[in-house]
């Protein structure tokens, strides 16, 4: 009988998971290393949105999700929740990055030169294989390349506005702030945000919804060391290193608290290689803190803290969007009944009005 | 006294110790020479009796609108005290309304006082219907009965000559004069003790102006609330008010019975104003 | 794995938030809200509240849209059981903790029971004021004028509020609260309830509560009736009940049937009938 079928929930779930397992099983034979090395950008995106730096776990999550990267990030977030918090590392200075790539659009030439590194910027997107030209690499150096940000000269000349430093860095996974939002919390939200969502909001700033005119001052990809203070020796100890992307954009100006006019900058940061994300993030950062000069556009999303803090997290938006698949028959029943009452009220009112109009005059 | 204002000042900017002393009518300037702050209202003292109608006249920038905004607390005063009869603190003593907490402020703005703005966009919510706007005021002054709320809205719409059949229409579909009248309905629906009017008819057709002024005068006689009317139009002041004060550069330069001031102005600035009327 | 999945720091923070919420009935308390293996929007708030409270002596019941067998309820119940090994039941009377999505059980709850609601949007003002900062000020000022005007406008146009579920309630004469998407039929059960009622919104990171025996009234005009869903002339095809919330179901032949939405209530009626 139809009614009892509704109660077969347990069976249905088991079967559904089993069928889904058939899909994910097809990729089971893929080696973790093949994913880590061959699909390195997918791994990086999952680590960034999952907010957990572990290439092995990211590979596992991608396989479990049969390639759905947002779902894979979800796995990582859930895992992160279960990890014990050992401590907080020393603040990383991205100027100390061992660079594999470093460019600046703001200057024609910079200290160390424009280090293109491995990049697909100049790739012609044809799926057909073109004949590859032989490349002859003349010099090859094993030395670590560490260069400060290309904006350093401007900073040294005191031309760049510094935003107030917070005493303690916020951790939104332990304590979620309410308005006014501390900048470290805003940056943390954006660094963990879903790349597409961040890209969309960043894009709005480029199409007139806002008044920033950014140029990339420094874009860098490379390795950063993670250091802890040893509990006994009190010395700095390196516990590992991560690959990361950092972008500083520059190109608008503002007055600081003393009334001095300074150049303003925005900062973007992501685990792994994700230039699109870091660029978008830096522009939104710039937009949020430079809102006073816009003359066009009613509502600038990229300058609205509420929009940024509550709509960019992929795991939240993904969960809420998909939750609509859950049963909603009770809520729909209530909607339907209200609709019926309203309809009846309208019809009764119309009937009464027409009666009054056609009624015999006293 | 239903309203008592003491040494009220409003300064926009840094506000240094020289601001109040180096600006005003005698200096012909509202800008502090030391710190460049703008002194909108400079040490004003004012009282209002029950049922009295007070006019504040002056040119643009004289501080008259700002003064009204300080009373209604759309802006926060920099200095001074304002006392409203019936507004007391927890100890039963009369309390400076500028020290009111959020709840008390709500009571002041919803029950004791009402404000009518020159621009109906400031006084009305364009997302609510005409009836909804009035309903908001009635509900916030304590009434939670639908029929009474609706009837009160219909009552005031009728009083202000808005066709009652349009009670569910949205403000943007009414003319400017009608929107102003809806604003008046809304302001009166909570039975305020003090009505504040900021250039209530500026920008409207002359015939509409006359009608609205007559309406306000009639309602004031009927209900008996106290009123402060701000206007740069001496005709409006003459029509509505018993007492007038003249403001220049944030200060009161003359005060007295409206008729006397208009017929026999003493201060040179008032003389200039009165003689400028076409 | 730790008992109840969450680490002790997380449990401590959630418990503190719950206590604060109980101390101020209807007031929205923010909390950090851990990510769980269950997706946001699928009950992580209710889950965190349950996991922070549950212990070996509890008996757990989980329902979704009134049904213990619904896919979401099954999934959540299995997850909680897997991290606590707690006793589970479908019998409302036996349960000490009942986690629910969008419905209140038909039979009256007793003291020592806790009802944990899964909440999608915790702030009742969200529909009239999307800015969180502004809404917080409105709550602080007890300024619910926008809700009242909405009610007025709906009443003028449609004779009654257009709100079908999530009907705003006034808690302890102070805070307007969102009771979660329960039907109006259930809204009246919140008042003076003998059980503790906790509300968890995981994605929005908020917890609120109604302690037992608290006054909870739907926001309505004094001179208007609070109309609830109507099932006049209909009865449950399974147990014959005429005084419960009914589900409308179409069978394979297109014929409409009605069944008690609360499956445990229906089962009990059948058992009582058989006795």
Q: With helix as H, strand as E and coil as C, how does A334-349 read?
A: HHHHHHHHHHHHHHHH
**Which chain A residues are closer than 8 Å to C65 by Cβ?**
327-330
Helices (H), chain A: 2-6, 9-25, 32-38, 40-50, 55-64, 69-82, 152-156, 183-191, 195-206, 275-288, 305-311, 314-323, 329-358
Q: Once rounded to an integer, what is the mean pLDDT over residues C193-208?
A: 96
Token pair listed for C248: 């409308």
Q: Give the pLDDT confidence of B44-60 residue by residue, as tens digits.
A: 999 999 999 999 998 88
- Check A334 against C183: CB less than 8 A apart: yes
Chain C residue closest in CA terms to A1:
C251
Q: Compute the mean pLDDT over every residue in chain C, rounded to the nearest whole number.
A: 93
Q: Closest to B140 (Cβ–Cβ): which among C145, C153, C224?
A: C145
Q: Are C33 and C205 in contact (CB under 8 A)?
A: yes
Average pLDDT of C39-44?
A: 91
Domain positions in chain C: 8-218, 230-275
Q: What are the tokens at C75?
A: 């999934």
Q: pLDDT value at position A87?
A: 87
- What is the tally of structural domains in chain A? 2
Count chain A–chain C contacts defined by CB atoms under 8 A: 156
Q: Rounded to a whole number, what is the distance in Å from the CA of B132 to chain C's nearest CA? A: 6
Query: Is position A76 within any domain?
Result: yes
CB nearest C164 (choices: A8, A82, A338): A338
Q: pLDDT value at position B233?
A: 86
Task: Name A263's bridge partners.
Answer: A160, A253
Q: Is the dihedral of CA C1, C6, C10, C12 positive or negative?
A: negative
Whether C260 is catalytic is yes
**pLDDT tens per residue across span B159-210:** 888 999 999 999 999 998 899 999 999 998 988 999 999 998 887 778 888 8
Kindly state the percentage of chain B with pLDDT values over 70: 99
Assess whether pLDDT exceeds 60 at residue B226.
yes
pLDDT value at C275 more than 70: no
**Per-window interface: C 137-196 vs B, CB < 8 A:** 137, 140-143, 145, 148-149, 152-153, 155-157
Contact check, Cβ <8 Å, C156/B144: no
Q: Chain C interface, mutation test: which of A330, A331, A340, most C Cβ atoms within 10 Å? A: A330
A70 and A98 share one domain? no
B-A interface (Cβ pairs under 8 Å ≥ 3) = no
The set of chains that have 3 or more CB pairs under 8 A with A is C
* Boundaries of domain holding A53: 10-82
Neighbours of chain B (3+ CB pairs under 8 A): C
Per-residue confidence (pLDDT) for residue A5, from 0 to 100: 40
Contact C165 A331 (CB under 8 A): yes
The pair of three-digit structure tokens given for residue B226, joined into one six-digit string: 């106290």
Interface test with A, best of C66, C69, C137, C201 (most A CBs within 10 A): C69
Residue ranges of chain A with per-residue pLDDT less than 70: 1-9, 292-298, 358-362
Which of C32, C159, C163 is opposite residue A176, by nearest beta carbon? C32
> Which of C65, C160, C203 has the CB atom closest to A329's CB atom?
C65
Strand ranges across the sheet with B251-257: B113-116, B194-198, B226-231, B53-57, B243-248, B251-257
B200 lies in which domain range? 3-275
Q: Chain C: nearest CA to A330, how far in angstroms?
A: 6
Task: Decide which of B278 and A32 is more confident.
Answer: A32
Distance CA B162, CA B129 (A): 13
A191, burial (CB in 10 Å: exposed 0-12, middle 13-18, buried 19+): buried
Q: Write down which residue in A297, A314, A331 finishes a domain.
A: A314
| Count of other CB atoms within 10 angstroms of residue C150 | 21
The residue count of chain B comes to: 278
Q: Which of A8, A9, A322 to mutate to test the interface with C (most CBs of C within 10 A)?
A: A9
Q: Do the chains contact at B168 and C142, CB–CB below 8 Å? A: no
**B148 vs C223: CB contact, 8 Å cut-off?**
yes
For residue A326, give the nearest of C42, C132, C249 by CB distance.
Answer: C42
Beta strands of B34-155 (E only): which ranges?
38-48, 53-57, 79-88, 94-96, 113-116
Q: Rounded mean pLDDT of B147-154?
A: 95
CB-based touch C/A (3+ pairs, under 8 A): yes
Q: What is the pLDDT of residues C210-232, one digit of tens each?
A: 999 999 999 999 999 999 998 88
First to last CA, chain C: 45
Among candidates C134, C216, C213, which has minimal Cα distance to C175?
C216
Residue in C34, C40, C251 nearest the CB of A316: C40
Comparing A100 with B278, the larger pLDDT belongs to A100
Q: What is the pLDDT of residue C245?
A: 92
Residue C240 falls in the annotated catalytic set: no
Catalytic choice (C26, C43, C46, C200) = C26
The ipTM is 0.84
Given A61, A82, A103, the domain boundary residue is A82
A69 and A105 belong to one structural domain:
no
CA distance C81 to chain B (A): 47
User: What residues of B are in contact with residue C141 (Cβ under 8 Å)?
Assistant: 102-103, 106
Looking at residue B216, which CATH number applies to its domain? Answer: 3.40.50.300
What is the reported pLDDT for A292? 66
Active site residue C26: yes
Q: Taking CB atoms and an 8 Å limit, are A326 and C101 in contact across chains?
A: yes
Is B136 within 8 Å of C148 when comparing Cβ atoms?
yes
* Distance between C96 CA and the closest CA of chain A, angstroms: 23
A101 vs C2 pLDDT, higher one: A101
Residue of C nearest to B153 (CA): C152
User: Is the Cβ pair B139, C142 closer than 8 Å?
Assistant: no
Note the CATH number of domain C8-218. Answer: 3.40.50.11310
> What are A321's two structure tokens?
């969007």
Q: For chain A, state the CA radius of gyration.
A: 27
Does the beta-carbon distance from A178 to C133 stay under 8 Å?
A: yes
3-state secondary structure of C246: strand
Shortest distance between the Cα of B118 and any Cα of chain C, in A, equals 24
Q: Which chains touch C (3 or more CB pairs under 8 A)?
A: A, B
| B146 vs C141, C142, C224: nearest CB | C224
Q: Determine contact, residues B85/B2, Cβ cutoff 8 Å.
A: yes
Tokens 């895992």, located at residue = A79
Which of chain C's residues have a Cβ under 8 Å away from the Cβ of A318?
39-40
In the predicted model, is pLDDT for residue B269 greater than 90? no
Task: Please report residues of C whose CB lies closer than 8 A to that of B132.
Answer: 149, 152-153, 156
Between chains, do C65 and A318 touch, taking CB under 8 Å as contact? no
Residue in chain C closest to A328 (alpha carbons) equals: C65
Q: Is C193 a catalytic residue?
A: no
B106, B145, B150 member nearest C222 (Cβ): B145
Task: Please tell me the total count of domains within chain B.
Answer: 1
Residue numbers in A near C179 (CB within 8 A): none
Q: Residue A329: inside a domain, yes or no?
A: no
Residues of A in contact with C251 (CB under 8 A): 2
State residue A3's pLDDT score: 42
Residue A107 forms part of a structural domain = yes
Please, which residues bridge with residue C87 across strands?
A: C59
| Partner-chain contact A178 C136, CB within 8 Å | yes
Question: A42-46, A352-356, B243-247, C186-190: which range is least confident on average?
Answer: A352-356
Inspect the interface and report whether the beta carbons of A335 and C164 lie closer than 8 Å. Answer: yes
């Amino acid at each position: 009988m139809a009614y009892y079928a509704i109660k077969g929930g347990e069976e249905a779930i088991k079967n559904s998971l089993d069928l889904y397992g058939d899909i994910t099983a097809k990729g089971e034979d893929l080696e973790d290393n093949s994913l880590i090395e061959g699909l390195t950008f997918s791994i990086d995106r999952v680590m960034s949105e999952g907010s957990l730096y572990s290439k092995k776990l990211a590979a596992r999550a991608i396989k479990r999700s049969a390639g759905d990267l947002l779902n894979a990030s979800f796995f990582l977030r859930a895992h992160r929740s279960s990890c014990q918090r050992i401590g907080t590392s020393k603040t990383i200075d991205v100027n100390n990055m061992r660079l594999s790539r470093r460019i600046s659009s703001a200057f024609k030439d910079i200290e160390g030169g424009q280090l293109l590194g491995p990049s697909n910027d100049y790739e012609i997107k044809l799926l057909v294989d073109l004949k590859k030209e032989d490349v002859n690499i003349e010099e090859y150096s094993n030395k670590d390349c560490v260069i400060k940000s290309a904006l350093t000269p401007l900073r040294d000349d005191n031309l760049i506005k510094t935003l107030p430093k917070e005493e303690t860095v916020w951790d939104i996974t332990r304590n979620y702030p309410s308005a006014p939002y501390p900048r470290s919390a805003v940056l943390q939200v954006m660094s963990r945000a879903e790349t597409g969502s961040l890209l969309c909001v960043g894009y709005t700033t480029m199409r007139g919804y806002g008044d920033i005119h950014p140029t990339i001052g420094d874009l860098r990809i490379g390795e950063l060391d993670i250091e802890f203070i040893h509990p006994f020796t009190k010395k700095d100890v390196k516990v590992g290193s991560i690959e990361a992307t950092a972008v500083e954009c520059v190109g608008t100006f503002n007055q600081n608290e003393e009334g001095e006019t300074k150049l303003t900058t925005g900062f973007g940061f992501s685990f792994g290689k994700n230039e699109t994300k870091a660029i978008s993030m830096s522009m939104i950062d710039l937009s949020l803190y430079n809102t006073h000069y816009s003359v066009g556009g009613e509502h600038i999303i990229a300058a609205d803290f509420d929009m940024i803090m509550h709509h960019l997290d992929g795991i939240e938006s993904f969960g809420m969007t998909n939750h609509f698949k859950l049963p909603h028959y009770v809520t729909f029943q209530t909607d339907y009944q209200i609709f019926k009452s309203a309809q009846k009220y309208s019809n009764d009112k119309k009937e009464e009005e027409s009666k009054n109009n056609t009624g015999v005059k006293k | 006294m239903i309203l008592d204002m003491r040494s009220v000042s409003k300064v926009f900017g840094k506000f240094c110790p020289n601001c109040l002393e180096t600006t005003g009518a005698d200096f012909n300037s509202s800008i502090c020479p030391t710190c460049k702050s703008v002194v909108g209202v400079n040490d004003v003292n004012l009282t209002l009796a029950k049922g009295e109608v007070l006019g504040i006249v002056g040119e643009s920038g004289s501080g008259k609108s700002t003064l009204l905004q300080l009373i209604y607390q759309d802006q926060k005063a920099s200095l001074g005290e304002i006392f409203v009869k019936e507004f007391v603190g927890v100890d039963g003593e009369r309390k400076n309304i500028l020290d009111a907490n959020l709840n008390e402020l709500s009571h002041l703005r919803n029950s004791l006082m009402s404000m009518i703005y020159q621009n109906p966009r400031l006084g009305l919510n364009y997302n609510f219907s005409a009836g909804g706007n009035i309903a908001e005021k009635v509900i916030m002054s304590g009434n939670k009965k639908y029929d009474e709320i609706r009837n009160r809205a219909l009552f005031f719409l009728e009083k202000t000559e808005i066709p009652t059949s349009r009670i569910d229409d949205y403000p943007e579909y009414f003319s400017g004069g009608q929107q102003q009248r809806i604003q008046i309905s809304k302001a009166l629906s909570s039975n305020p003790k003090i009505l504040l009017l900021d250039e209530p008819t500026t920008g409207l057709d002359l015939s509409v102006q006359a009608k609205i002024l007559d309406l306000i005068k009639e309602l004031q006689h009927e209900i008996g609330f106290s009123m402060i009317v701000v206007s740069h139009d001496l005709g409006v002041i003459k029509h509505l008010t018993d007492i007038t004060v003249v403001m220049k550069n944030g200060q009161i330069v003359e005060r007295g019975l409206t008729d006397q001031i208009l017929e026999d102005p003493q201060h040179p600035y008032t003389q200039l104003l009165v003689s400028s009327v076409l | 794995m730790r008992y109840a999945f969450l680490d002790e720091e997380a449990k401590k923070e959630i418990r503190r938030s719950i206590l604060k919420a109980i101390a101020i009935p209807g007031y929205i308390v923010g909390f950090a809200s851990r990510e769980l293996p269950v997706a946001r929007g699928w009950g992580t708030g209710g889950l965190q509240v349950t996991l922070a409270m549950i212990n070996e002596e509890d008996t757990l019941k989980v329902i979704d849209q009134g049904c213990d067998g619904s896919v979401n309820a099954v999934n959540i119940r299995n997850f909680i059981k897997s991290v606590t090994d707690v006793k589970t039941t479908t019998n409302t009377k036996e349960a000490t903790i009942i986690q629910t999505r969008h419905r209140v059980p038909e039979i009256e709850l007793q003291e020592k029971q806790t009802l944990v609601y899964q909440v999608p949007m915790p702030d009742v003002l969200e529909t009239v004021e999307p800015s969180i900062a502004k809404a917080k000020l409105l709550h602080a000022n007890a300024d619910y004028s926008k809700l009242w005007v909405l009610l007025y406008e709906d009443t003028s146009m449609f004779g009654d509020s257009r709100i079908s579920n999530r009907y705003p309630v006034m808690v302890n004469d102070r805070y307007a609260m969102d009771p979660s998407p329960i039907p109006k039929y259930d809204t009246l059960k919140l008042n003076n309830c003998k059980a503790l009622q906790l509300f968890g919104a995981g994605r929005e990171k908020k917890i609120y509560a109604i302690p037992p025996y608290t006054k909870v009234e739907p926001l309505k005009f004094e001179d208007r009736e609070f109309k609830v869903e109507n099932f006049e002339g209909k009865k449950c095809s399974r147990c014959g009940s005429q005084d419960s919330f009914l589900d409308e179901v179409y069978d394979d032949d297109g014929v409409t049937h009605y069944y008690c939405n609360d499956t445990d209530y229906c089962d009990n009626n059948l058992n009582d009938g058989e006795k």
